[in-house]
Amino acid sequence: MTAVEVLAEPDWLAREAAHAERMRRWTVPHQERRARGEKHPVLDFLFTYYSYRPSHLQRWQPGPGVALAGPAARRFLDRKGYVETGDGVVLDPAGFTEGKAKTAEFVLGLLSATASRAPRLSCFGLHEWAMVYREPPDSVRHAQVPLRLGSAGTDAVVETLGIRCGHFDAFRFFTPPARPRNELTPTRETQVTLEQPGCLHANMDLFKWAYKLDPFVPAELVADCFELAVEIRALDMRASPYDLAALGYRPVRIETARGRAEYARAQSEFTRRAAPLRHRLIAHCQYLPGAAP
């Protein structure tokens, strides 16, 4: 990972400022809500389920193979993992530890396998319904917002439509009565085998795989994955059993044939948009030493 591109100080300062401004659209409102003790059933997920801190999301990084020129670059030396060379300030290759290499190898294998499969668009977002199936009202995950169809109506949708979820990190939040109703029994061990590019959660998780390799991924790629995850999360919850109209989220009524068709169209569009990000991450992992097979 030797430096192959030298960025002049005005160029990288402009990129740094643009990235921070882009991410403040999301980080500042989240921090303000948190200061008020206010929960958001849609957007909190992006900062709680995903463990990348808002301050890190807002912070720009060049990624590997880039040298930052100019005196202002020396402040990067205050961060862990940067060294100064004759070209400028670069990521220290020694920071790409054995643990990072194993992460990159796993991400490369998972994303390559996912990209090789045809998308399946027949789940209709029922994973969120399975997370509240036969759950007492006071135990529902987002108890601060009502269920559109009530508990009995929600349970009836699960029982009528069936569940076809192959994403382990969704399946593990199913209620115990919902798990036997799923056509699949995904596990962490079968994740690489089952993950497919039509899955909303697999496409949101591109954000996770990007930040897991921090700082060896450019901030712009992390931001692109994050913003796609924001949009996908909105569809995920619009198709959920929750009534989020008061927060401005129009429901996708997957309990109806029209709603299922709407969901599948949106899911197909997100599959299309996620594909180039997945391939960028694959190419990035292949660039990092020790990741490529």
Per-residue pLDDT of the chain in tens (293 residues, 90 and over written 9): 555 799 999 999 999 999 999 999 999 999 999 999 999 999 999 999 999 999 999 999 999 999 999 999 999 999 999 999 999 999 998 889 999 999 999 999 999 999 999 999 999 999 999 999 998 766 656 667 899 999 999 999 999 998 999 999 999 999 999 999 999 999 999 999 999 999 999 999 999 999 999 999 999 999 999 999 999 999 999 999 999 999 999 999 999 999 999 999 999 999 999 999 999 999 999 988 654 44
pTM of the predicted model as reported, rounded to 2 decimal places = 0.94
Contact of 55 with 20, CB cutoff 8 Å: no
